[in-house]
Structure 1
Amino acid sequence: MAISKAMRAALHTLSYAANIDVGRTYKVERVLRGLRTPLSPLYQLWDRRVERDGHEVRVRIYSPKKQTDSRLLLFFHGGGWVLESVDTYNSVCRSLARKTGCRVASVEYGLAPEHTFPEGLEDCYAAAREVYRHPELFGVRSQEITLIGDSAGGNLAAAVSLMARDRGEFTVAQQILIYPATYNDHSPHTRFDSVRENGTDYLLTAKRVSDYMELYAGGDPQKLNDPYFAPLLAADLSRQPRTLVITAQYDPLRDEGEAYARALRDAGNTVMLYRMPGALHGYFSLPMRFKLVRRTYDMIDHFLNGDSAHAG
């Protein structure tokens, strides 16, 4: 799906602004994003606390007025491991609860650079372990829990699934990865064409992805090669959950997300893959009036209800 010349010009301008050094601006960006997050009275939502190594991980539960599905979606938000929060993702999680009819649990993990890899991931893992060990607290069975995340949250969901298999503490049955970050190289020399094709003029730039990853790694280049940091590097992708991967056409992360889906499938896992035409990175946070958002919820519905007709 082509983008008009006027839209391309606007995207170019906005993408230029996005190339400002995240390391200098992340605190201001967090404040600005927090100003646009009013809570809604339409849903019951409350916070639970999970203990991990002497500190608490907050988990916010969203329950729609009309809960039509007994399952739980355990959600990890995006934001490059640096920005966003459960508060800024209120609208996304409310929509997710309403459109699926499921209860949604959103995890407040530690952000970089204050909490570098693997701190945020360990927060997500601790929350998932608590939920899977005590599903009755959330009114579900363990096999009715699905991990879901977008962008950096998709990365965290994939890493939690790998960790769960490796540590043997719980089993993840399903995961939904929305334009996930799965690789460690977003330079002009990367193996993925989408970084070169979509890495300058489509809001999320390749430079910004690299900046996020540097902050997440805490400047330690060795962390970049850890498969929990970049799941596509994992030597063994067997025994992973049934997976839905959704990518965006004009996203620098598009090809690595699709490569991860293929690698999971090659390792013997059940995978559905769909590329959203005309979409940019971050589109899932747009209002429901956008067709591509509604289409994404259709894909999620098909996946949750066992429909494989859209497998790619």
Structure 2
Amino acid sequence: MQMDIAVAPSVPDPLSVEMTVARSEAYLGGKLTMGRFDYCLNTSTIRSPGVSVLEYVDIAADAGYDGIEPWVEEIDAWVEGGGTLPQLRDHAAGRGIRIVNLIAFFEWAVPEADRHALGLEEARRCFEMAQILDCPFVATAPKGIHDREVDLFSVVRRFAELTDAVSNFSPKPLLEFWGVSRTLGTVGEALLVAAESGVRDARLLTDIFHMYKGSGHQRGMDYLDPGRLGLVHVNDYPSDPPRADIEDEHRVYPGDGEAPWDEIVASLVRQEYRGMLSLELFNPAYWAEGPVATARKGLAKLRACVEAV
């Protein structure tokens, strides 16, 4: 049954109209993303013997990146060599580089009690490090369960335990899946862990290569939103070797492979993602070209993919 109700004509709020028009214009003319994303460099992309994490910061800044994702092992090497975390933090800030996320590999999800305890201990160390560096996130990867099948609901419980264990630190876990992993290998599994854990602000770290390797497509991105998606690792993948055989070392520059960039960027724009796009590659051929050239080329190719949509 339909009821006829007289409704007074509404007067549009000028600010609301302005925002709507701006958003509509952003979707017109094929240009969805100009200026929407900031760009980050994962240091795996420019791995080079003898180059310190402080030098990686300079390379990223000189190339035009907004942020950097260092690995904990690189930071440990810096400290062991006489450097300090405050020095690294202040140097990055002085160069206008945000330390976005730490790449860590503590075994938070393993079922063995002794390994799990050690994993939580290492997690606390990494989160304390991130806090000193003013870094908002620490990657929480399926290390230790990637090579075997583990009950996913036990992983749910351990993710909640990890979150509790590091709750006194300001940085947050970024739940990461690996496409090569036998447990926690897809966006769907990561979403289940996040949803069932009861952790209200659980955030995911997605990766174009891992989505392809784990699921064979990028459409899992459509099930995320700005409050759930913390960071995106960007890269591309060739058609050869095939998906079953492809490995991290086969990652290529954005636009040089088969990834559907129009689909990926459109999905990020629809969900109004405002985080970083972080270039993560492990290609030995790129390492051989040197960190400076690789950093610059990678950013140019990434920007071209994003701005073409």
Q: TM-score, normalised by structure 2?
A: 0.38
Rg comparison, structure with higher value: 2
Q: TM-score, normalised by structure 1?
A: 0.37
Indicate the structure with greater strand content.
Answer: 1
Indicate the structure with greater helix content.
Answer: 2
Of structures 1 and 2, the one scoring higher in RCO (CA 8 A, sep 6+) is 2
